[in-house]
Structure 1
Amino acid sequence: MLFAVLCKDKPEHIHLRMETRPRHLEWVDGLNEKGTLKIAGPFLDAEEKPCGSMLLIEAVDQASAEAIAAEDPYGKAGLFESVDVKSFKWLYNNPEA
């Protein structure tokens, strides 16, 4: 089952994002190696600076997806104002379809 993990950064926390980025990317690379990760990247503000994140992950259920999302180093560092985990059905341009 697929889940979209939608994360919104706290305002004025770009410094924390940059400090934590190497650990976050290592974590994302691990998800990718396991086949858990389908898509990932930052949201950008009007000045094209990162202001949040979006991941599309595969998990057995909602609780498992939330557990995966809770391991994000950005979240553990206190970067996110909010994290929303929603089940997702990939209809168009799904390479696995």
Structure 2
Amino acid sequence: MLYMFHCTDKAGAAEIRTANRAEHLAYLESHTDRLFAAGPLLSEPDSAGNQGMVGSLLIVECADAAEAQSFAANDPYAKAGLFDSVAIRPWRRVFPKA
């Protein structure tokens, strides 16, 4: 079953994200067979058009909710304390049709 992970960074945690990014990407790379989609959530552009990373959105194949919780807990970003909140929900693809 697919699970959606909506992770919101703690305010002012850009340094935590930067310091743990390589480990986080390696963690995702080790699970590419289970990843449907993954990427950062972005802030609205500032007056110069710059956007910062403010969270993460992942859609991951997991056997059940317990496995989804374990996947989230073992993410280096989570271990480093980056997230203010993590919502995990079962997800079903409807469009585009597979």
Does the alignment reach a TM-score above 0.5?
yes
Measure, in 2, the Cα distance between the counterparts of 1:66 and 1:16. 21
Q: Distance in 2 between matches of 1:66 and 1:93?
A: 27
Residue equivalent to 2:36? 38
> Does 1:78 pair with 2:72?
no
Residue 16 (structure 2) pairs with residue 16 (structure 1): yes
The equivalent residue for 1:5 is 5
Consecutive unaligned residues of structure 2, counting only runs of 5 or more, are 46-50
- Deviations, residues 8-58 of structure 1 (Å, cap 9, x unaligned): 0000010110010000000010110xx111100000012410000011000
Structure 1 CA distance for aligned equivalents of residues 72 and 35 of structure 2: 11
Residue 93 of structure 1: how far off its partner (Å): 1.8
May I ask how many residue pairs the two structures share in their alignment?
Answer: 93
Distance 1:77 1:93 in 2: 35
Displacement of 1:74 in angstroms is 0.3
**Which stretches in structure 1 are left out of the alignment for 5+ residues?**
none
Moved more, 19-28 or 85-94: 85-94
**Structure 1 residue runs of 4+, over 6 Å off?**
none
Q: Aligned equivalents of 1:93 and 1:67: distance in 2?
A: 29
Q: Which has the higher helix share?
A: 1
For the aligned residue pairs, the C-alpha RMSD in angstroms reads 0.9
Q: Is residue 88 of structure 1 aligned with residue 86 of structure 2?
A: no
